[in-house]
Amino acid sequence: MASSFQSAILTVLFSKISILALSVLFTPLLVRLLGPTLYGQYAIILSVFAITAIFMMSGTTEAVRKYVSEQDDVEWQVAVIKQTYQPAFLIGILAAVAFALLAWSGVVATLFGEAFTPLFYLLSAYAIGRQLRVHILWTLMGLQLESWSEPLKVVQKVVFVVLALTLVYIGYGVAGVLIADIITSVMTVLIGGVLIGRHLPLTAFRNPPTVDLPIKQIRKYAVSTVIFYLFLMSLYHIDVLLLQIWVADRTVGYYKGALVIAEVLWVAPLAVQLALLQRVSSLWESGDIETIEVRAQRVTYYVLLLTSLLALGVGALAFDVVPLYLGESFTPAIVPLILLLPGVLGFAVARPSLAINQARRSLRPLLLATGASSVLNVLLNLLLIPRYGMAGAAIATSIGYGSLVVFQSAIARDLGYQPLGGIRWGPTLASVTVTAAVIVPLSVIITSTVLSLLIVPPVGALVFAVCIFGLGAITFDELQSLVDTVGVLPTRLERGLLVTVKRVTDLSK
């Protein structure tokens, strides 16, 4: 289980990094091709669909991922897939019809403007494609076939980027991006279906199920998951939707650009979150709380350390990164980006607990904790956006993100484990403080953007590494165990790394 878990994290992390790299290329090109106004429209379309997608796909996709992973029995797995696929398809059809009716009736034109009407017609096909695509990919993950699902995600992203940029370039605008997603969804569903057929015998899908599924529990879990994601996704998107009421599309585009950069920090935490649920479900069923706590504390601590370093780097280099990445016209995005970073760090630290708490069959504690963060976020956005615009949205959202750590940790303790119990606060805070004291002045002194991006990141990483090992945030034995478990570095590099760290820890004693 341990090695499988490590392998899954690395596979998902590779996929996330690859997709991130593609997004790093895609977003600035898309921003420049669309411009702030059209990019603002695209941000609104994505936010509208994201809220709708909570009701469409979160229940069935998360249910198939959890329940398929509970048993290795083929008949059980096939029965779960069949039980969840039918409602998933039906819900996708209903959503598509709803988008088309909103466009046809004129509601969309009234709420958003005439330019959005054809985009909502496209959302009909977009919705069905996304629904089936995510269900297929999550089924593969539930079967613990991340070695298939993650490369397929990367292939989909590559084709989407090329196709979307081509369609936008030749004049299709936001519609071109949606069309590209529809086409790649069809491609992913076809390939994913073939992969599932290779793992599970097709004859099993044709025969009536011979196992007794806890259908009521699955349905209850699916409904609870919809509510959970409604709360969680409101943290992602309510700020963009509310901001659109009080400010122009151009300002929404600036704010969305800040969010895109800030969310880069979630690559590793998301990989951990996606790998955890299907590997913790069986531990909850067997009541192995001790293993859950060990795993939760370890991954939470490593996520905190890594994300802290990344947040320091993004914050110190914000005045260089934003104009270079999004263009000079997006300079107003710098302030909301910096304001978002503390909350983004908090959300990252909470992600392992989110996955572990979601792996239980009863989601009541998870719903209470996530709902509290969601309500706090909405209230703060309503309070601060009218007065402070996108800076107010950033402050409100940052607090909402950060509150997840408090609420998720509280319910985790009630469930019997302490995800923050393994954090060495003293060495960690000292390492962050020393690193910030070095790289922030350094980024100010270096006036060249290129030199700043070349010098500050490696200096910051080196200082942070020396601090965490020298101050005891991570011990030599822990590093050696981590290196041995992961096993992805060349032997000579592993040996050199361990020797260097050993010298640093010896000097600090």
Residues 120-133 have a mean pLDDT of 92
Q: Residue 171 pLDDT > 90, yes or no?
A: no
| pLDDT above 60: residue 505 | no
DSSP string, 42-63: HHHHHHHHHHHHIIIIIHHHHH
Between CA 240 and CA 99 the distance in angstroms is: 20
Residue 307 and residue 400 share a domain: yes
- Does the pLDDT value for residue 486 go beyond 60? no
- In whole angstroms, give the CA distance from residue 424 to residue 478: 13
Task: Note whether 20 and 100 are same-domain residues.
Answer: yes
Residue 3 confidence class, pLDDT cut points 50, 70, 90 = very low
Residues 196 and 114 in one domain: yes
The string of pLDDT tens digits covering residues 17-65 is 888 788 878 888 888 888 877 887 888 888 788 778 877 877 788 888 8
User: Which of 213, 246, 261 is the C-terminal boundary of a domain?
Assistant: 213
Q: Which of 111-115, 191-195, 503-507 has the lowest mean pLDDT?
A: 503-507
Residue 414 confidence (pLDDT) above 70 = yes
Report the chain's terminal Cα–Cα distance, integer Å. Answer: 36
Would you state the pLDDT for residue 1? 41
Tell me how far apart the alpha carbons of residues 143 and 149 are, in angstroms, rounded to a whole number.
10
Secondary structure class of 120 (helix, strand, coil): helix
Q: How many CB atoms lie within 10 A of CB 368?
A: 14
Distance CA 197, CA 145 (A): 13
pLDDT over 80 at 15, yes or no: yes
For 437-463, write each residue's pLDDT tens digit.
Answer: 999 999 999 988 889 999 999 999 999
Q: What is the DSSP letter of 70?
A: T
List the single range of 87-96, 246-255, 473-482 with lowest mean pLDDT: 473-482
In terms of domains, do 413 and 501 share one? Answer: no
Neighbouring CB atoms inside 10 A of 447's CB total 9
pLDDT (mean) for 167-187: 93
| 327 contacts 31 by C-beta, under 8 angstroms | yes
Question: Is residue 432 in some structural domain?
Answer: no
Buried b (16+ CB within 10 A) or exposed e, 114-145: eebbebbbbbbbbbbbbbbbbbbbbbbbbbbb
> Which domain-ending residue is among 213, 243, 264?
213
pTM of the model: 0.78
> Are 235 and 167 in the same domain?
no
Query: Once rounded to an integer, what is the mean pLDDT over residues 118-130?
Result: 92
Evaluate whether residue 413 is within a structural domain: yes
Give residue 321's identity as a one-letter amino acid code: V
Residue 430 lies in a domain: no
How many domains would you assign to the chain?
A: 3
Determine which of 76-85, 253-262, 490-499 has the lowest per-residue pLDDT on average: 490-499
Q: What is the mean pLDDT of the chain?
A: 85
| Listed residue (368, 380, 253, 353) closest to 298, CA to CA | 353
Chain segment 250-266, per-residue pLDDT in tens: 788 888 888 888 888 88
Tell me the residue range of the domain where 483 lies. 438-508
Looking at the structure, do residues 231 and 340 belong to the same domain, yes or no?
yes
∠ at Cα 271 (23, 356), nearest 5°?
A: 140
- Quick one: 121 and 260 in the same domain? no
Q: Give a yes or no: residue 429 inside a domain.
A: no
Are 462 and 390 found together in one domain? no
Alpha helices in 247-363 (DSSP H): 249-262, 267-286, 289-316, 318-326, 334-358
Residues 412-440 have a mean pLDDT of 92
Average pLDDT of 474-484?
69
pLDDT tier at 503, thresholds 50, 70, 90: low
Residue 204 has pLDDT above 80, yes or no: no
CA 84, 90, 94: angle at the middle one, nearest 5? 140
Output the CA–CA distances (angstroms, integers) from residue 266 to 8, 208, 262, 352, in the order listed: 17, 42, 8, 12
